[in-house]
A and B are shown apart, each in its own frame.
Chain A
């Protein structure tokens, strides 16, 4: 009885958070799931349409392109941005002077509001009078249509995403690096280990679990990217930078087709869940294999 009493008090403390979560997170999730099987009328009666929204998805001209884009965005983002924070964190960790200065400098882009940053990036990428093309012209390279060239639009956007996000990731790696005992490095140094050997045998094994987690989080974040393509390219040129969330936004808010947009949201959740599960299983297998 006293234990139950104690738990009741604990739940009472949790109650405000539970109510807020229920209202702003769980209820909308459940409602979106429900809406994905409906023809939604915001004022009138919504009608149940079974799997119609999911069947319609098969005829959506954007379907294949959107997922191909996600895959390419994720690949570009891993290529351009996955190792960068690890390298910078290690470099900062190895620094003897001005460590604090560099920690702040690399974190700065993160504190710039994204909409402001996008305005600046638009100037940088402007095909007529942009900074980047001006810079290229100094080296005699001809002007590029960064955001309007289907081949360049994705990496250009990924660059903006990486610029905005790598500061936070670097801090996470740095904090993880703080956990490594200094004695370990000193012992390695005494044993004659070069900096590269120290990184290979002490730093990277220590960072591995964090890197594995951040890999999943990065892929999930990139597949859900919205702000950068929305503000920089509106999904174009053509559909070259259209992402699932931008497509959902367009269907829901520009075309008021909420049932169909909800079906897309459900699909996005399922795809990400499958990816995360497969990755987890794969990761566990690798770990077991390594230990063995």
Chain B
């Protein structure tokens, strides 16, 4: 009962504290970029379900969530929003597509749109983007990830590039005052940082043999000078050729092989997306390939971790400079949703994400409740809107952003080049390379050049032909 009263109180306070001119953005630093409709679904009753509702054991997040729902429903009384405590899980969502159980609006990762679009499971949002005047607000490169055949299928809500997280204390103790500038330097530093007897690895990346391993390997391959067309090349006639059997991809796999067998700087334990953070937070690894948003995961999952100990830098430079892969998350709408439901879901998402008051309130609350504000991520939008949200957010940073200056400066100056994914079958390719990297890490006798050529040939026959 007390909890309910508390939630109600917080929700009321959130609503009451909001400026009156919500849709014009008056009194806010961040400009208004969406034109919200007078009515949704022409006033007809419409109900939608929305994923990622915070659970009851996160009372602050839940209060914000419920406050937003209440506010949107007050603006559009014919819209009813039901939250689902459900976060994205590839296996569960495939079953949900089959059983027509997808939430109307749900969040997923940048790696997944291809799968949903291929299964006709998500709605084309292009007309809604045009109606809301939003296409020009988002960074075009980010929108491209949510698009196929010139149709927009998702609303990106954040983007990051892979970078290098490192333990500042461990680097200092080994006599280094900066993270490695090149991949060779990374290997040399990792040797100095490795202490096998104490169970400390100098360097790590996701090594569980899954698609995530292939994805981290590809980040290294881009660092070694590979471009997307050096992995899978479009032949211009709708067919593709697997080109990753030679060139910089081989150099990168040889580097991985050397890290494991020549330098011996990699951890013995299997690290996936979640426990690579655990390894970093428990001082078992000095440097890791990391996504900027994982600091938020570290903060939530390891409350005792001292985040000021960790720095974040762009990936080391190779022959083409510093080149990194991107990732992120986006919201998609169930294709089984009616036009009315699509409209309600779309406007609910863009309103809570882009509306100046919502944005500012959310940042203030996150900052006041000690959430991870200030993650080293990529600009999601362009122009004035992006500049203004950064300006606003910078007053409320919770994370030690000074430790991320190397990364943020490299993004701003354009020194860090962001590279797109391979043009076709990227997820199949990541899965296949994940297996190969795991093979290289397990067996010293594997010859990277000949195995990569074999795998490219098999991939051509099995996936691309």
Q: Which residues from B are CB-within-8-Å of A239?
A: 435, 439
**Are A256 and B94 in touch, CB under 8 angstroms?**
yes
Q: Would A148 and B270 be within 8 Å (CB), given that A129-B199, A254-B431, A256-B115 are in contact?
A: yes
Q: How many residues of A contact B (CB 8 A)?
A: 31
Question: Is A41 an interface residue, CB under 8 A from the partner?
Answer: yes
Q: Within B321-341, which residues are at the interface with A (CB < 8 Å)?
A: 335-336
Interfacial residues of chain A within 234-288, with CB under 8 A of chain B in the complex: 234-240, 250, 252-256
Contact in complex: B97, A43 (CB < 8 Å): yes
Task: Name the one of B119, B199, B269, B443 contacting A43, with C-beta atoms under 8 angstroms.
Answer: B119
Q: Tell me if A253 and B119 are in contact (CB < 8 A).
A: no
- Dominant secondary structure of chain A at its interface with chain B: loop
Evaluate whether A254 and B211 lie within 8 angstroms (CB atoms) in the complex, with A42-B94, A44-B120, A56-B462 already known: yes
In the assembled complex, how far is the CB of residue A24 from the closest CB belonging to chain B, in whole angstroms? Answer: 14
| Closest chain A residue to B95, Cβ basis | A253
A86 contacts which chain B residues (CB < 8 A)? none
Q: Are A61 and B431 in contact (CB under 8 A)?
A: no
Q: Which of B97, B119, B199, B435 has the most CB of A within 10 A?
A: B435
A236 touches B208 (CB 8 A): yes
Q: Which of A41, A234, A250 gathers most chain B CB within 10 Å?
A: A234
Residues of chain A with a CB closer than 8 A to B465's CB = 59
Q: A43-B121, A236-B208, A255-B428 are in contact. Are A59 and B462 (CB under 8 A)?
A: yes
A236→B431 contact, CB < 8 A: no
Q: Is B214 an interface residue (CB 8 A)?
A: no
Q: How far is the CA of A148 from the CA of B208 in the complex (A)?
A: 10
Residues facing B in A97-135 (CB within 8 A) are 126-129
- Taking a contact as CB atoms closer than 8 A, the residue among A42, A233, A240 that contacts B121 in the complex is A42
What residue of chain B has the Cβ atom nearest to residue A252's Cβ?
B94
Chain B: minimal CB distance from A213 (Å)? 34
Chain A residue contacts of B98, Cβ below 8 A: 42
Main SS of chain B's interface residues?
Answer: helix
Q: When A236-B209, A238-B436 are in contact, do A43 and B442 touch as well, CB less than 8 Å?
A: no
Q: How far is the CB of A241 from chain B (nearest CB, A)?
A: 10
Residue B118 interfacial (CB < 8 Å): yes
Q: Which residues of A contact B428 (CB under 8 A)?
A: 255
Please indicate the chain B residues that have their CB under 8 angstroms from the CB of A191 in the complex.
none
Cβ of B24 within 8 Å of any chain A Cβ, yes or no, is no
Q: Which residue of B lies closest to A249 (CB)?
A: B91
- Nearest CB to that of A56 among chain B residues? B462
Contact among B119, B335, B442 for A238, CB-based, below 8 A: B442
Per the bound structure, the CA–CA distance linking A233 and B428 in Å amounts to: 19
Closest Cβ–Cβ distance, residue A181 to chain B (whole Å):
52
Give Cα distance in the complex from A237 to B267, angstroms.
14
A149 at the interface (CB under 8 A from B): yes
State whether A255 touches B431 (Cβ < 8 A): yes
- In the bound assembly, the distance between CA atoms of A187 and B432 in angstroms comes to 65
Tell me, rounded to whole Å, the shortest Cβ–Cβ distance linking B445 to chain A: 10
Interface string of B195-211 (1 = CB under 8 A from A): 00001000000001111
**Of A61, A128, A250, which one neighbours B267 at CB under 8 angstroms?**
A128
The answer to whether B119 and A59 touch across the interface, beta carbons within 8 angstroms, is: no
Q: Does A147 contact B (CB under 8 A)?
A: yes
Contact B441 A127 (CB under 8 A): no
Task: Give every chain A residue within 8 A of B423 (Cβ-Cβ).
Answer: none
In the assembly, what is the distance between CA of A255 and CA of B84, in Å?
Answer: 25
User: Which one of A44, A60, A239, A256 has the highest number of Cβ atoms from chain B below 10 Å of its Cβ?
Assistant: A256
Q: Which residues 36-53 of A sit at the B interface, judged by CB distance below 8 A?
A: 41-44
B90 at the interface (CB under 8 A from A): yes
Chain B residues with CB under 8 Å of A198's CB are: none
**Contact B270 A147, beta carbon cutoff 8 Å:** yes
| B442 partner, pick from A41, A42, A150, A254, beta carbons under 8 A | A150
| Among B91, B210, B458, contact of A253 (Cβ-Cβ < 8 Å) | B91
Question: What separation, in Å, do the CA atoms of A234 and B455 have in the docked complex?
Answer: 19
Instruction: Determine if B268 is an interface residue (Cβ-Cβ < 8 Å).
Output: yes
B80 CB to nearest chain A CB (Å) = 25
A61's partner among B115, B210, B438, B462 (CB-CB below 8 A) is: B462
B56 within 8 A of A: no
Query: Closest A-chain residue to B122, C-beta based?
Result: A43
- In the complex, the answer to whether A237 meets B119 with C-beta atoms within 8 Å is no
Tell me if A238 and B269 are in contact (CB < 8 A).
no
Cβ-based interface call for A93 (8 A): no
Q: Which of A126, A233, A254 has the most CB of B within 10 A?
A: A254
| A160 vs chain B, min Cβ distance (A) | 15
* Bound-state Cα–Cα, A146 to B443, Å: 13
Contacts of A44 in B (CB 8 A): 119-120
The answer to whether A145 has its CB under 8 Å from any CB of chain B is: yes
Residue of A nearest to B425 (CB): A255
A237 touches which one: B209, B210, B432, B462 (CB < 8 A)?
A: B209
Report if B349 contacts A (CB, 8 A).
no
Interfacial chain A residues near B12, Cβ < 8 Å? none
Complex CA gap A240/B455 in Å reads 16
Query: Is B140 at the interface (CB under 8 A from chain A)?
Result: no
List B contacts of A41 (CB < 8 A): 119-120
**B210, A234: Cβ atoms closer than 8 Å:** yes
Q: Do B442 and A145 touch across chains, with their CB atoms under 8 A apart?
A: yes
Query: Would you call B386 an interface residue if the criterion is a C-beta within 8 Å of the partner chain's C-beta atoms?
Result: no
Interface residues of A in 145-165 (CB under 8 A from B): 145, 147-150
The verdict on A254 contacting B90 (CB below 8 Å), with A129-B199, A149-B442 known, is: yes
Q: How far is the CB of A179 from chain B (nearest CB, A)?
A: 44
Check B29 for interface membership: any CB of A closer than 8 A: no
Q: Which residues of A contact B90 (CB under 8 A)?
A: 253-254
How near does chain B come to A284, taking the closest CB pair, in angstroms?
41
How far, in whole Å, are A148 and B269 apart by their CA atoms in the complex? 9
Q: Tell me, yes or no, whether B387 is within 8 Å of chain A by CB.
A: no
Q: How far is the CB of B280 from chain A (nearest CB, A)?
A: 15
In the assembled complex, the CB of B269 is this many whole angstroms from the nearest CB of chain A, namely 6
Q: How far is the CA of A65 from the CA of B372 in the complex (A)?
A: 45
- A sample of 20 inter-chain contacts (CB < 8 A) reads A42-B98, A42-B119, A43-B97, A44-B120, A61-B459, A61-B462, A127-B269, A128-B268, A145-B442, A148-B270, A233-B209, A233-B270, A234-B210, A237-B443, A238-B435, A238-B439, A238-B442, A253-B94, A255-B115, A255-B427
User: In the complex, given contacts A237-B439, A254-B211, what are 12 additional A-B residue pairs having Cβ atoms less than 8 angstroms apart?
Assistant: A42-B94, A43-B120, A126-B268, A148-B268, A148-B270, A148-B441, A236-B438, A239-B435, A253-B90, A254-B90, A255-B115, A256-B115
7 nearest A-B pairs in the assembled complex, by CB-CB distance:
A238-B439, A237-B442, A127-B268, A236-B209, A61-B458, A44-B120, A43-B120
